[in-house]
Amino acid sequence: MLMTDPLNDAIEKKATRDAYGKALEDIGSKHKNVVVLDADLSGSTKTKGFSAKFPDRFFNFGVAEQNLVANAAGFSRTGLIPFASTFAMFLTGRAWEVVRNTVAYPCENVKLVATHAGITLGEDGASHQALEDVGIMRVIPNMTVIVPSDYNQTYKAIHAAVEHRGPMYIRLGRPNIPMIYDDKDIFTIGKAILLQEGKKVAFIANGIMVYEAWRAARLVEKSTGIRPFVIDMHTVKPLDTSMLDDIGKKVDVIYTFEEHNIIGGLGSAVNEYAGEHLDCRIIRIGINDQFGQSGTPDNLMVHYELKAENIAQKVIKNLSVSKHVN
């Protein structure tokens, strides 16, 4: 584990989209059947490096996301492994019907890797900040959905995607974010990672919110003496229900954290399972069913109360209320 103290502000930061670009270049040298498709955003999605090294295996479809996805499905049918990329809003929004009927329904081996997701996209504002994409992809049968939490995990997730057979949606962001893992940490699709043992309370997060949740957990412990479990649930579908079963027996409440609408994403997935299998309470923290807005990533995280300090305050208040009720 690279990060052992989430309260250390000197943690190195890298963008998950940069890891995607690096992984593609490394994979391209080893797997000659990998092709990459983009929608005129290769500089932003970081597929540009692959295009320079393997120009005969890179295809730019311009601002035509439906064609992008349809052709990815076609490549898959020839035995190739296509990685199709653009911004999350366009890949899951404009191309949704093609994703459903041309990729997922016939279970094509297509890897949909979307960048610039969530409010940390920043100044481009609500029209480009995909806050619904995980929910949109999660409801499609056959689709695996992954939200990596840092650079190294993203690199491992892209390598795992090559070996995984079937449709996959991987959600990446724009800004540099804290490094949690080192290059030796193991990543397994569908297997959550327990970052911190605890008691009474569990924090389950993915994406950029893993760091914020872990940092919040330390702040909660310093204030209350209660040490929350911290879990990186990078795979939203299939959900690691074994982890949920184990944690559900040990805590009174599970908090979920996501840079996404609290409807349809990680919180909904955990809540759906818990409602049928667990006895503990679930509290979802994320974007409260509203659109984003223009601003710097950090200011938006503060505005939508997704920073560790905001989270810790809420949890400490809830623990105090629970203590008095009990």
Which one of the listed residues 25, 65, 212, 259 is annotated catalytic?
65
Tell me whether residue 212 is one of the annotated catalytic residues. no
* Residue 218, CB-side half-sphere exposure with 13 Å CA sphere: 12
Q: State the DSSP string of 160-215.
A: HHHHS-S-EEEE--SSEEE----TTS---TT--EEEE--SEEEEEE-TTHHHHHHH
Task: Using DSSP, state whether 205 is helix, strand or coil.
Answer: strand
Task: Using DSSP, state whether 129 is helix, strand or coil.
Answer: coil
The tokens describing 202, both together, are: 């569990």
Angstrom distances, CA of residue 101 to CA of 37, 73, 95, 160: 19, 10, 10, 24
Contact between 149 and 208 under an 8 Å Cβ cutoff? The reply is yes
| Residue listed under structure tokens 């979802």 | 284
Q: Rounded to 5, what percent of the chain is helix, strand, coil?
A: 45, 20, 35
- Residues tagged active-site: 65
